[in-house]
Amino acid sequence: MKLVVGATGLLGGKITRQLLDAGQEVRILVREDSPSKQLARKGMATPAASLIEAGAQPVYGDLKDPASLAAACHGIETLITTANSASRGGNDNPETVEKQGNRSLVEVAQTAGVGHFIFISAQMADRDSPVPFLAGKAQTEDLLMGGDMPYTILAPNAFMDVWVFLLVGAPVMSGQPVTLVGSGARKHAFIAMVDVAAFALASVDNPRALNQKLILGGPEALSFREAAGLYGEMLGLEVEVRSVKPGISLPNLTPSAMAMAAAFDTYDSRIEMARLAADYGVTLTPMAAFVRQAVQQ
């Protein structure tokens, strides 16, 4: 039995569906008051009901309620967690999810004898990061690497589906200018969410993946400005790009997301992926292909 925590998120939903399509028995952790149906209307979630209808077995609980996690972890061979607070807010924040919630999940899973814990982290996770989201991810990595439970840490670069679409695609496709924090010229190996899901699936029942941390990126490093150029090229229009200074809020971004948006302009992240992608049998999605699919939907 496989357990997916965060199954109603975009990435978790993709992983759950792929596991089900592969004939796996899948359990999903679902909140009693899950907002997934409402968020799905905005393209921000996977409806819990659709996963249950597809064959996933729901167990009701919450990362913020440690007592609810024991039933979810009972009898689980492989646990995959994509749960995060990046696009949430309120009671779902880096302290309650990335730090406290993930700690509870790791501890309960280890007590329950989970055979393989697959954790979706982030490439820039660092205990000393000024971004609480990234500091919390690093804390969970340390827990796993310092424990006895077999693990795989997948540390992807920024998702095209989230950051490129949120900061570039959504405004372009609604006829609005693109507003970036800082120059928007730093280059990052953005990765498509479907490719991260493919690495997660390729790690299941794979001895090669045990006790490994895999840094994941796309096949090329591009900037947000170059992404805007691709959208303009695909749509046949000139895209206006504006810059704001760090600390200025952007619409529809949580404080955690704002911190991440500002952080992107402080570093470049190029990742050589050819060998790792070949080893795990994953065909990486170029940015141009992602943008083309986005504008055709």
Q: How confident is the model at residue 35 (pLDDT cuts 50, 70, 90)?
A: low
Q: Which pTM does this prediction carry?
A: 0.92
What confidence score (pLDDT) does residue 189 get? 98
Listed in sequence order, the residues at least 6 apart from 188 whose beta carbon sits closer than 8 Å to its beta carbon are 157, 158, 217, 221, 222, 223, 264, 268, 269
Rg of the chain over Cα atoms, rounded to whole angstroms, equals: 18
The dihedral formed by the CA atoms of 165, 192, 143 and 34, expressed in degrees to the nearest 10: 60
- Mean predicted confidence (pLDDT) in 103-131: 95
Q: Pick the residue with more confidence: 39 or 101?
A: 101
Q: Is the pLDDT at 246 greater than 90, yes or no?
A: no
Q: Is the dihedral of CA 53, 56, 57, 63 positive or negative?
A: negative
CA trace torsion 239, 240, 241, 244 (10° rounding):
-150
What residue type is assigned to position 24 of the chain? Q
pLDDT 10s digits, 67-87:
999 999 999 999 999 998 876
What's the mean per-residue pLDDT of the chain? 92
pLDDT in tens, 125-177: 999 998 888 999 999 999 999 999 999 999 999 999 999 999 999 999 999 99
* pLDDT score of 289 more than 90: yes
In sequence order, what are the beta bridge partners of 181? 244
Does the structure show a pLDDT above 90 at 31?
no
pLDDT at 139: 96
Averaged pLDDT for residues 96-102: 90
Looking at the chain, the whole-number percentage of residues with pLDDT higher than 90 is 78
Beta-bridge mates of residue 188: 222, 269
Q: Comparing 39 with 1, which gets the higher pLDDT? A: 1
Q: Write down the pLDDT at residue 42.
A: 57
- Residue 30 backbone phi and psi in degrees, to 5: -125, 140
Q: How confident is the model at residue 90 (pLDDT cuts 50, 70, 90)?
A: low
- pLDDT tens string 190-199: 999 999 999 9
Domains and CATH numbers, the chain: 2-156 (3.40.50.720), 158-192+218-270+284-297 (3.90.25.10)
What is the spatial distance between Cα 143 and Cα 287, in angstroms, rounded to a whole number?
34
Is it the case that residue 218 has pLDDT exceeding 90? yes
Binned at pLDDT 50, 70 and 90, residue 97 comes out as confident
